[in-house]
Amino acid sequence: WTYPSTSTPSPTRTPATARASGSFFGKVTGSGAVSVADHDALFDAATGHYLYEADVKGGCPGCGNDTGGNICEECGEPNTVTDLAEPRSAGGETPVRGTAARWTLPLHTFSADVRDHHRLGRVPARLRELADRVFARPSLDVPLTHPSGWGVEPREDDTDGQVIWVWPEMSYGFLHGIQSLGARLGRPWQAAAPAPDWKIVHFFGYDNSFYHSVLYPVLYRLAFPGWTPDIDYHVNEFYLLDGEKFSTSRRHAIWGKEILTPDTVDAVRFLTRRHPPRR
């Protein structure tokens, strides 16, 4: 086991890492399992802007709760934004439905691969149940690129004006982090050639469960068919503040530096232990 210092993060947005990320994506597209395909898409009624992630909201096709584009924070299931109930743009208007050609992964064809992966490492029951719900759908075509001006452009020229979706890009980022850690430790670890003896341990919020435990294993399978990733998954459940989940990105949180002192740390530890995650 190697325990990296938490004070030495590895930058993932340099020209070199962008090229490496593009190379990783090239291996995914070169597998033959993904292709550029026309699928339904949503566009802003006023500007014609392509809508995804925070730009669109609607009812989750899985649980029915209000959700943003592409992932539901409540149930953890993905959406393609076109399957949202009563979708609306960030401005509140009803989007226009059209089509867009994007690199697309037929995720539904990889059910057996994901289940095999889940038998190898530590996978909490809640993640297995999420995978069961995802693969119970007749089909799920996941776009891996989106029209955007920010991000890493795929090397393939089949989708002008598009970038690799940040979540697939992040799957490579973890491998890059291992390579960077190896460089500091004098180990010959290479992101482009993951080793069979790597043991990866992930910690993430439940809202990212689909990406980490379902999508990423498939991308690794396509990019490195000879590698069997051994991954332990640890899910952080939501903690509520005034009825809404803690969110550092939304500034809805109690900050450690504001509450933790030598006199309060035991009380905070006691409180959080009294309210463990639901099992």
Domain covering 15-236 in this structure, CATH number: 2.170.220.10
pLDDT of residue 11: 53
What letter represents residue 91's amino acid?
A: G
CA atoms within 13 A on the CB side of 126: 18
The phi and psi torsions of 38 (rounded to 5 degrees) equal -80, 125
- 183: tokens are 């460089």
Q: How confident is the model at residue 278 (pLDDT cuts 50, 70, 90)?
A: low
160-173: burial string, b at 16+ Cβ within 10 Å, e else? eebbbbebbbbbbb
Q: pLDDT for 4-49, tens place per residue? A: 454 455 555 688 889 999 999 999 999 999 999 999 999 999 999 9
Q: Residue 31 burial by CB count (10 A; 0-12/13-18/19+): exposed, middle or buried? A: middle
Q: pLDDT for 243-255, tens place per residue? A: 887 777 778 888 8
Segment 126-149 mean pLDDT: 97
Q: Cα angle vertex 140, ends 134, 143, to 5°? A: 120
Q: Residue 178 burial by CB count (10 A; 0-12/13-18/19+): exposed, middle or buried? A: buried
Question: Rounded to two decimals, what is the model's pTM?
Answer: 0.87
Segment 89-111 mean pLDDT: 97
pLDDT of residue 167: 97
Which of 124, 118, 120 lies closest to 204 in space, CA to CA?
124
Q: Give me the chain's average pLDDT, please.
A: 92
Strand partners, 138: none
Instruction: Say yes or no to pLDDT of 212 above 50.
Output: yes
DSSP helix/strand/coil, 81: coil
Instruction: Give the residue carrying structure tokens 């095999």.
Output: 116
Instruction: Give the residue carrying structure tokens 């990406």.
Output: 211
The domain limits of the chain are 15-236, 241-279
Q: Give the C-alpha separation, 130 to 11, whole Å.
A: 31
Instruction: Say yes or no to pLDDT of 168 above 70.
Output: yes
For the four alpha carbons of 147, 153, 159 and 160, in that order, the dihedral sign comes to positive
Higher pLDDT, 173 or 240: 173
Would you report the helix, strand and coil content of the chain in percent, each value rounded to 5? Answer: 35, 25, 45
Beta strands in 222-266 (DSSP E): 230-236, 240-241, 244-245
